[in-house]
């Protein structure tokens, strides 16, 4: 039996990932704050368990470690939980950076630390960290979010190199705009020129599978975002003028 943990599983990318893994025959431990959503999703999957949990809570890593320990193995950890609070630094200040980092980066590090022994014991296994295209590209009024996703990208790359000797593959997924129930991205999807920039949770879920069990180190969704990241790296002055 293959066991996966998916955080942020109650909606959007997390839900689509849980559904994809369920169809592929995985037993899925669903993690999010909204217990009702998790229970509803678990009832629809062939083999799933709901665990209502705030990943930023002090006891979250220990509680998740205990729950997964009861499964007897862990073959895939998908760190997907995250959020953004749009604000210029002059308005949101250090507090906005702190709360964004706490959810999008710190909680990922703490949960991965707690579950890594199980992943090593179950090797070959995988970790997939869901970053963002904004983990390579920064925009005004999204500094806190970009900081958290840049941090995740750098940390993931180091972890990829460190854990491969232990049989734990660590992959990174960098989605661009994703149309979800909370963020339909209607202003982009209604225009032919920008429609390409919006992806679906299902496409991101497919990239997560490719970056986890599929063994890929990195996936952009949609893939043209990779071109923007390359341009930003090679021609930073040109990129800033473009913005």
Return the closest-CA partner of residue 32 out of 59, 11, 16: 11
Q: Give the global pTM.
A: 0.94
pLDDT score at 104? 97
Return the SS3 of 139: coil
Torsion angle in degrees (nearest 10) through CA of 8, 103, 208, 193: 100
Question: Of 145, 150, 155, 177, which one is the catalytic site residue?
Answer: 145
Contacts of 44 (CB under 8 A, 6+ apart): 19
pLDDT score at 186? 62
pLDDT tens digits along 109-159: 999 999 999 999 999 999 999 999 989 988 899 999 999 999 999 999 999
Bridge pairing between strands 3-7 and 27-32: parallel
Averaged pLDDT, 221-225: 87
Rounded Cα–Cα distance for residues 12 and 34 (Å): 13
| Tokens at 58, concatenated | 């002090």
Return the SS3 of 201: helix
Q: Show the domains of the chain with their CATH numbers.
A: 3-242 (3.40.50.720)
164 touches 119 (CB < 8 A): no
Rounded Cα–Cα distance for residues 67 and 49 (Å): 10
Q: Is the dihedral of CA 71, 75, 218, 20 positive or negative?
A: negative
pLDDT tens digits along 65-92: 999 999 999 999 999 998 889 899 999 9
pLDDT score at 183? 62
Averaged pLDDT, 40-61: 97
Active site residue 225: no
For residue 15, pLDDT beyond 90: yes
pLDDT score at 181? 65
For residue 93, pLDDT beyond 80: yes
**H or E element that contains 3:** strand 3-7
pLDDT score at 213? 92
| Tokens at 184, concatenated | 């339909």
pLDDT tens digits along 169-218: 999 999 998 877 666 676 766 776 667 778 799 999 999 999 999 999 99
pLDDT score at 192? 67
Rounded Cα–Cα distance for residues 221 and 226 (Å): 9
pLDDT score at 131? 95
Return the SS3 of 234: helix
Task: Tell me how far CA of residue 112 lies from CA of 40, 59, 64, in angstroms.
Answer: 26, 14, 10
């Amino acid at each position: 039996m293959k066991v996966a943990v998916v955080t942020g599983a109650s909606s959007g990318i997390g839900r689509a990932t849980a559904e994809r893994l369920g169809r592929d025959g995985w037993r899925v431990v669903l993690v999010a704050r909204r217990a009702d959503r998790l229970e509803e999703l678990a009832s629809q999957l062939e083999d799933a368990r709901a665990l209502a949990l705030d990943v930023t809570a002090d006891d979250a890593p220990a509680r998740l470690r205990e729950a997964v320990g009861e499964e007897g193995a862990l073959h895939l950890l998908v760190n997907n939980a995250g959020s953004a609070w749009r604000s210029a630094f002059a308005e949101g200040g250090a507090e906005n950076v702190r709360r964004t980092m706490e959810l999008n980066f710190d909680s990922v590090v703490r949960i991965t630390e707690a579950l890594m022994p199980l992943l090593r014991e179950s090797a070959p296994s995988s970790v997939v960290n869901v970053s963002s295209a904004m983990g390579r590209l920064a925009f005004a009024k999204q500094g806190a979010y970009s900081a958290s996703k840049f941090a995740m990208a750098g940390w993931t790359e180091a972890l990829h190199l460190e854990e491969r000797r232990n049989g734990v593959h660590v992959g990174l997924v960098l989605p661009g705009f994703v149309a979800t129930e909370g963020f339909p991205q209607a202003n982009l999807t209604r225009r032919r020129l920008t429609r390409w920039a919006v992806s679906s949770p299902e496409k991101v879920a497919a990239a997560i599978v490719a970056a986890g069990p599929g063994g890929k180190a990195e996936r952009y969704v949609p893939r043209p975002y990779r071109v923007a990241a390359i341009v930003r790296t090679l021609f930073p002055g040109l990129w800033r003028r473009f913005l």
